[in-house]
Amino acid sequence: MTELNCADTDRVRDIIHVFGGLSWPAPREEMASIGARLEWTILSETPHSTRFDTGFPTNFPIGGVTVDDGRIGQVTIKLTDKVTDPDAELAAELSSSAVHFREDITVLVGEPVSVRGGVESHWTWDLANGGRVTLTRSSSVVTLTVLQERYADIERNEEALGISESRDPEADLV
């Protein structure tokens, strides 16, 4: 069996603290200082994205930032190895890692405001600065996503209206 490599818990806490301390909307130029604080290396930048190396001991330590109108929109970071066709033991390790990260984030920011179980589990927390953090466990990886306040507000409004997360907006156009 292959061992599942994961981000260090302290580094995940640092991510929560750094992004939870931002003032939204945060200009993309702040990614340089955020990267330095989190010990990330910026690999590339385009008008709409930034890619960085997290330095995590995983097989895909690359994270991404979506840039919206010159501002940080969404940050996506893989916290574990990305695995293909995990056996039962590796799948259990993925689940265990997700639970560990979930418990750690809960200690930092409180209970999740949204939980969805199943094959692709999601736990979402609102941050004091208006942003949002989502931990996702799929069948192949555990991912942390940070949303800026405007994106988080859209999610909160959809939830208040009872719009399902699994809804396909393009299906409404047919």
Instruction: Quote the CA–CA distance of 57 and 31 in Å, as a whole number.
Output: 21
CB 67 within 8 A of CB 28: yes
CB 112 within 8 A of CB 16: no
Query: What share of the chain has pLDDT > 90, as a percent?
Result: 82
Of 68-77, 93-102, 153-162, the least confident: 153-162
Summarised one tens digit per residue, pLDDT across range 81-117 is: 999 988 899 999 999 999 999 999 999 999 999 998 8
Summarised one tens digit per residue, pLDDT across range 8-56 is: 999 999 999 999 999 999 999 999 999 999 999 999 999 999 999 999 9
| pTM (2 d.p.) | 0.91
